[in-house]
Structure 1
Amino acid sequence: MASQNFPWSAQTARQRAVDAFDRLQSRPAEHAAIYTKAFDPADQDLHGDPAHPLSGALISVKALFDVKGEVTTAGADVLRACEPAQEDAPAIANLRAAGAVFTGLTNMSEFAYSGLGLNPHFGTPENAVFPGCAPGGSTSGGAVSVARGLADIAIGSDTGGSLRIPAAFNGLVGFKPTQASVSLQGGCPLSDTLDSFGPMSRSVAACELAWQVMAGRDVLPVKPRLSRFIVPENFGFNEMDPAIRKGFERVVRSLQSGGADIERRKLACIEPYDQIPPWHFTSVESRAHYENFFVNQASHMDPRVHARMGRADEISAVTYRQSLNRRKAFVKVFAEELGDALLLLPTTPILPPALARLEDDAVFNSLNLLALRNPSLANIADGCSIALPFVDGGLVLSAMLIGPNGHDHQLLACAKHIEPLLADMT
């Protein structure tokens, strides 16, 4: 993979980093709340290996990753007083070794516990594509950093869509890899069962490269290759904005014109899927990690996050274990039903909501659940998934592919194949 295929190089790294940092300093209102801490290029060693294809890439890092010498806040006020990290998280260390230039720690929903990206402690970054609207979460600042040209790649986490929702809301590619492919060490967890670490960028190739480096894999890009698609008739299409439905149907027609085999049918595995509430994992497992803060510093937490953590008290240990068992069985039946096909559906059923609407708790909770609904399927299935942007009727929209566990290379190959088809729709 030649470095000239990307907009970065080891030779231009310093100047590009300085330019991005200067933009942040000179126009603070425009870039408010994107970073919890921006890194000054003057304080960094920017001499990466010029032979590595990632060398010189400007990369923002979600604030839940350990970065040596920095406090890992995970967007939470209660973690501000923690000691700085003694070493990089393994995924971050791999990026640093490859010559990545870190632009800073990006803002996020507190403890990554929201699909809309609001944060009452560090502020909420404004959507880069839909002014005045939610940026998507929980990797909110990461998405906006790339969409505003402050970074080439954003590194984040995805528990129920936290890479793919902000990618969809800001016109980017967001890749949630199979969980086991990237070490979760050195990252503040939300759900040990559902968390995955991955990238966002402007292209599938850039996401693939970042993922391979994060995972410690050889940098060997897959060749574009079309897969069969299944459009599920019994999941993901109710309560949908008409503009998203219209745009998605145009995507289907465009892919069919490009030779894609697309089957519309009901998925048998959706029936057992409906018996696995994702909140069982996020509420119980987040409480296991942050119980001290939940009990003793409730007034310093986002009240919406605190309320969602509090739902752990609604279920018993037996119920939680039953959900784990059902999820394990679902991973197997999902992979068996898909076979060599990929699911194709809208990334989210809603457009980015106006921030003013989200001041009402009931509206926030309803729209948060809708934003998370479609992408959460991949996390419960322990699969891989990618959000791909396209434009219809002047609106920036997003289509999503989901594959079974371990089918990351197939997913990326197919995404590369259809990426130019979606771009031609503009």
Structure 2
Amino acid sequence: MTHTPQSLLDAARARAAAPDFTRTFDDPVEGEGPLSGLNVAVKDLFDVRGQVTQAGSQVRKATAPASKDAAAVARLRSAGAGLIGHANMTEFAYSGLGLNPHYGTPLTPLKEGCIAGGSTSGGASAVARGVADIALGTDTGGSARIPAAFCGLFGFKATAQTISRAGAVPLSHSLDSVGVLTREVGLLRPVLNVLRDQPLAASAAPRAVIVPENFGMDELDPEVAEAFEAALEALQASGVNLRRQTLDFFDDYRALPVWQFSAVESRAHHGAHFDDARAELDPRVASRMARADGVTGIEFARTMAAREALIARAAHLFGDTPVALPSVAIMPPKLDDLREDATYDRINLLALRNTSFANVIDGCSVSMPITSHPGAGLMLTATAGRDAMLMNMAETLQGAL
């Protein structure tokens, strides 16, 4: 059945109390392991054998069921975790807000009528509500960390090459990575150790963080600004040195057209659906995919080269010192406030602004809830391969927050 864009958006608003899953599984646990007794909400991007991977879209409903688990799913299953369902998400993971006009929009339990954030929206909501212990998600520009902040969770974006994405539907192969969400920081390490080839090393946490003064701090909601300063005071009281700096790097970073990666590469992966069934897509997703038409091959090559240069500069500039930012510039917005496309676009960009930094520099990042201000998060970001350093710091600092 063909839907008009308006009918799709009306459906999203009408189903504000939608379930967190596109489908649930009758999937008995097959063995014991370090995650025995824990339930996982699997983002609807990951293959689960015998199930159709819909990626939050109706155009993939006729896709053949997966013949085997995605690599990450197989590892969780072999560690004794129970898979309870494919979690709802933004179609193709193409948004930081988590709206889905096809299956409804998950909400955060922290604030009445407010969105869970995305694109790992259903998984975050399920964990926050206690339906699941773990959400297996992805993070292309903040898709694990934005909903972690909005739902009062811990969200970890792994360095892309440390956890296999085999069997996961891509959005942007340049920026995609695996993300994990939990209610307790103590659960992150065992989950990540199951997903990784090598366990996270135990070492001393860094005693300093860089707080940029020319990136990520403008247009903050007053409650976010207050929460972030309170978090920094707590870090300082625990012995962390705050290095507030204005860095030319961030001026150059802001000049990079980050949007090109998802626009161009989503067309590479989902172009057939865009060409043949565009009317069936979320119009807000389709409009972003359409932006690829305005990008020449030469322009995209220049963007990729500029990103590689930024990755190298970041590794030299930041080293073993994480960057501290508010996870998201805003508190969870109400679903009803996202009716107009112009408002949606502005809030989506603002939600993704701080988190996308980690993906562009090919780094790792963790969002920790600031419990005094539910819906706000403190984010620590480091360059590639420093996942263990961030994990150690999160475990050390979570009590201070």
For Structure 1 versus Structure 2, the TM-score category normalised by the shorter chain is over 0.9
Residue 135 of structure 2 corresponds to 154
Q: Is the 8 A contact 1:389 1:398 kept in 2?
A: yes
Distance in 1 between residues matched to 2:29 and 2:273, nearest whole Å: 38
- Asked whether 1:268 is paired with 2:251, we answer no
- Asked whether 1:360 is paired with 2:346, we answer no
Q: Tell me by how many angstroms 1:189 deviates.
A: 0.4
Distance in 1 between residues matched to 2:276 and 2:84, nearest whole Å: 34
Distance in 2 between residues matched to 1:244 and 1:195, nearest whole Å: 27
Residue 113 of structure 1 corresponds to 94
- Asked whether 1:48 is paired with 2:31, we answer yes
Residue 387 of structure 2 corresponds to 408
Q: Tell me by how many angstroms 1:215 deviates.
A: 2.1
Q: Tell me by how many angstroms 1:308 deviates.
A: 0.2
Q: Tell me by how many angstroms 1:227 deviates.
A: 3.3
Residue 186 of structure 2 corresponds to 205
Q: Tell me by how many angstroms 1:254 deviates.
A: 1.2
TM-score normalised by structure 1 residue count: 0.88
Q: Is the 8 A contact 1:227 1:340 kept in 2?
A: no
Tell me the amino acid that sits aligned with residue 381 of structure 1. Answer: I
Distance in 2 between residues matched to 1:333 and 1:225, nearest whole Å: 23
> Relative contact order (alpha carbons < 8 A, sep ≥ 6): 1 or 2 greater?
2
Superposed counterparts of 1:339-350, under 5 Å:
339-350=319-330
Q: Tell me by how many angstroms 1:47 deviates.
A: 4.5
Alpha-carbon displacement from aligned partner over 1:46-68 (angstroms, at most 9, x marks no partner)? 2422xx32122111100000000
Tell me the amino acid that sits aligned with residue 72 of structure 2. Answer: A
Superposed counterparts of 1:79-228, under 5 Å:
79-218=60-199, 222=202, 225-228=205-208
Distance in 2 between residues matched to 1:87 and 1:239, nearest whole Å: 45
Alpha-carbon displacement from aligned partner over 1:271-313 (angstroms, at most 9, x marks no partner)? 2212321111000000001111111101100000000000001
- Asked whether 1:254 is paired with 2:234, we answer yes
Alpha-carbon displacement from aligned partner over 1:184-223 (angstroms, at most 9, x marks no partner)? 11001000000001210012231222122122334x6635
Distance in 2 between residues matched to 1:113 and 1:148, nearest whole Å: 24
- Asked whether 1:39 is paired with 2:25, we answer yes
Residue 77 of structure 1 corresponds to 58
Alpha-carbon displacement from aligned partner over 1:115-162 (angstroms, at most 9, x marks no partner)? 000000111112111120111000000000100001110000000000
Of all paired residues, the percent bearing the same amino acid is 45
Residue 11 of structure 2 corresponds to none
Moved segments of 4+, more than 4 Å: none
Distance in 2 between residues matched to 1:281 and 1:47, nearest whole Å: 39
Check 1:67–1:375 CA distance in 2 against 1; reply closer, same or farther (3 A cut): same
Alpha-carbon displacement from aligned partner over 1:169-196 (angstroms, at most 9, x marks no partner)? 0000000010000111100100000000
Q: Is the 8 A contact 2:127 2:133 kept in 1?
A: yes
Residue 338 of structure 1 corresponds to 318
Superposed counterparts of 1:373-412, under 5 Å:
373-392=353-372, 395-412=374-391
Equivalences, count = 387
Q: Secondary structure at the match of 1:239?
A: coil
Residue 308 of structure 2 corresponds to 328
Residue 294 of structure 2 corresponds to 314
Q: Secondary structure at the match of 1:212?
A: helix
Residue 263 of structure 2 corresponds to 283
Q: Tell me by how many angstroms 1:396 deviates.
A: 3.6
Q: Secondary structure at the match of 2:86?
A: strand
Distance in 1 between residues matched to 2:360 and 2:16, nearest whole Å: 37
Distance in 2 between residues matched to 1:216 and 1:56, nearest whole Å: 22
Distance in 1 between residues matched to 2:39 and 2:204, nearest whole Å: 25
Residue 14 of structure 1 corresponds to none
Distance in 2 between residues matched to 1:275 and 1:45, nearest whole Å: 49
Check 1:323–1:147 CA distance in 2 against 1; reply closer, same or farther (3 A cut): same
Q: Secondary structure at the match of 2:22?
A: strand
Residue 44 of structure 2 corresponds to 63
Distance in 1 between residues matched to 2:203 and 2:319, nearest whole Å: 20
Distance in 1 between residues matched to 2:240 and 2:36, nearest whole Å: 36
Tell me the amino acid that sits aligned with residue 138 of structure 2. Answer: S
Distance in 2 between residues matched to 1:106 and 1:227, nearest whole Å: 37
Q: Secondary structure at the match of 1:341?
A: coil
Q: Is the 8 A contact 1:59 1:100 kept in 2?
A: yes
The correspondence for 1:232, drawn from 206, 209, 212, is 212
Alpha-carbon displacement from aligned partner over 1:224-258 (angstroms, at most 9, x marks no partner)? 62431000001001111011101111111111111
Structure 1, unaligned runs of 5 or more:
1-28
Distance in 1 between residues matched to 2:31 and 2:307, nearest whole Å: 42
Distance in 2 between residues matched to 1:265 and 1:338, nearest whole Å: 12
Q: Is the 8 A contact 2:94 2:171 kept in 1?
A: yes
Q: Secondary structure at the match of 1:87?
A: coil
Structure 2, unaligned runs of 5 or more:
1-14
The correspondence for 2:278, drawn from 298, 310, 324, is 298
Q: Secondary structure at the match of 1:175?
A: strand
Check 1:71–1:162 CA distance in 2 against 1; reply closer, same or farther (3 A cut): same
Distance in 2 between residues matched to 1:251 and 1:176, nearest whole Å: 20
Tell me the amino acid that sits aligned with residue 304 of structure 1. Answer: R
TM-score normalised by structure 2 residue count: 0.94
Q: Secondary structure at the match of 1:269?
A: helix
Q: Is the 8 A contact 1:226 1:417 kept in 2?
A: no
Could you say what the CA RMSD is over the residues aligned between the two structures, in angstroms? Answer: 1.5
Distance in 1 between residues matched to 2:87 and 2:225, nearest whole Å: 32
